[in-house]
Chain A
Amino acid sequence: MAPGRATRENSGARSRPPLLRGWWLGVALCASALASVAVAGEIPDAQRRSGSEFMSPQTRAMQDDDTANPGLLWVLEGEALWSRKAGAAAGRACADCHGDARASMRGVATRHPAFDAGRGRLLSLEQRIRACRTDRQQAPPLPWESRDLLALTAYVARQSRGLPIQPVIDERTRPFLEGGRASFERRQGQLNLACSQCHDGNWGRRLAGNPVPQAHPTGYPLYRLEWQSLGSLQRRLRNCLIGIRAEPYGYGAPELVELELYLMWRARGMPMEAPAVRP
């Protein structure tokens, strides 16, 4: 986002009237009281539900209809970018190495964040695209949350629609998974809330009139009506951190990528919906 431009990212939190802020505190107190009664465990497989099942029928219809889903605008742009040459390496396009994305990128989004042996760390799908751009195309990396990065990510993620989420968990990625789980369960921020208190312990209940979903990242990058734009999972995680009044990690921070991996593992087996629509 260009500097100086007003952001819609946090407008909800800023414009919330003082009355509702008190309400939030009440929610926090309720949540902590509940958590002290029963330590919320992981959600049993049979009870796991995608965020789309908590939406209104109208929003679900919007997601399922390719002619009404605004995320498809980004997918179309990504398709054009896929074969556009860029960079110093005599101008190379994604398609020059990867060919037809409909075949080569099928299932790729279900396996990210993935371990990158060369870097010795986890890479999210956005980071993988940025890395490809600097290493293979020798072009400047696409800025975080830029239209082009979201478009390419949406185009790649779209090729996994309907496929089950299956991150690779082995001895290399397990420490990151455990790190992600620890931050999911760690109380943080001025409200002293952990992700798990809402999303494991109180899903299906309401927070300020909205249902609390189970936090399964099945549809990212997704179109949020509140954002009036497509956004990444990291943008959503940063929103949640701002909501509990914690200092949000920067885009690409290892903590966010670990959390992404834990959330993907938590949603393993659930079908991908990208690009999804959420309220």
Chain B
Amino acid sequence: MARAMVSVPARARRGEIIEIKALISHAMETGHRRTQDGSAIPRDIIRLFVCTYNGTEVFRAELHPAIAANPFIAFSTIATESGTLALHWTGDNGFSVTESAALVVE
């Protein structure tokens, strides 16, 4: 079950720097581990994280096998206008989760 927790301030002043925090439930299986009988465990990771602000990309991160399970990503952007921040995670085995949060700019 994929669950994500997104933290965006509900309100901000125009021009203010806001912090966005995103935590998602994912095993981030590296592909380098083996089971007890020696067979390889296939890789299963999140490959890409993208955040768009009213459709414009404001942050992008590529994820790799060395990143721990349940990755937590925090970044900042400038509040320019009221609207929606959409956070999108994509990965192996067709993994795709989108969360969005509303932001009111005064």
Residues on A lying within 8 angstroms of B by beta carbon are 4-6, 67-68, 70, 72-73, 76-77, 147, 225, 228-229
Check if B5 is an interface residue, CB within 8 A of chain A: yes
Contacts of B70 in A (CB 8 A): 70, 73, 228
Given A67-B21, A68-B72; A5-B35 close (CB under 8 Å): yes
B87 to chain A, nearest CB (A): 13
> Considering the chains assembled together, what is the distance between the CA atoms of A202 and B73 in angstroms?
37
B54 to chain A, nearest CB (A): 22
Check if B36 is an interface residue, CB within 8 A of chain A: yes
> Considering the chains assembled together, what is the distance between the CA atoms of A68 and B28 in angstroms?
17
Check if B23 is an interface residue, CB within 8 A of chain A: yes
Cross-chain contact B69 with A229 (CB below 8 angstroms):
yes
Cross-chain contact A5 with B41 (CB below 8 angstroms):
yes
> Considering the chains assembled together, what is the distance between the CA atoms of A147 and B70 in angstroms?
14
In the complex formed, the residue of B with least CB distance to A151 is: B1
Cross-chain contact B23 with A68 (CB below 8 angstroms):
yes
Contacts of A70 in B (CB 8 A): 23, 25, 70, 72
A-B CB pair tally, cutoff 8 Å: 42
Contacts of A147 in B (CB 8 A): 1
Say whether chain B's binding surface is mostly helix, strand, loop, or mixed: loop
The winner among A5, A67, A68, A72 for most chain B CB atoms within 10 A is A67
Interface string of B33-44 (1 = CB under 8 A from A): 111110101000
Contacts of B72 in A (CB 8 A): 68, 70
B3 to chain A, nearest CB (A): 5
> Considering the chains assembled together, what is the distance between the CA atoms of A67 and B72 in angstroms?
9
A228 to chain B, nearest CB (A): 4
In the complex formed, the residue of A with least CB distance to B21 is: A67
Number of chain B residues whose Cβ lies closer than 8 Å to a Cβ of chain A: 20
From B23, B33, B36, B74, A73 is in contact (CB under 8 Å) with B23
Give me 29 A-to-B residue pairs in the complex whose CB atoms sit less than 8 angstroms apart, sorted by A's number. A4-B35, A4-B36, A4-B37, A4-B39, A5-B35, A5-B41, A6-B34, A6-B36, A6-B41, A67-B5, A67-B7, A67-B21, A67-B23, A68-B21, A68-B23, A68-B72, A68-B74, A70-B70, A72-B5, A73-B3, A73-B70, A76-B3, A76-B5, A77-B1, A147-B1, A225-B68, A228-B28, A228-B70, A229-B69
In the complex formed, the residue of B with least CB distance to A227 is: B69
> Considering the chains assembled together, what is the distance between the CA atoms of A108 and B71 in angstroms?
31
A179 to chain B, nearest CB (A): 34
Contacts of A225 in B (CB 8 A): 68
> Considering the chains assembled together, what is the distance between the CA atoms of A222 and B70 in angstroms?
14
> Considering the chains assembled together, what is the distance between the CA atoms of A5 and B21 in angstroms?
31
In the complex formed, the residue of A with least CB distance to B26 is: A73
> Considering the chains assembled together, what is the distance between the CA atoms of A5 and B37 in angstroms?
9
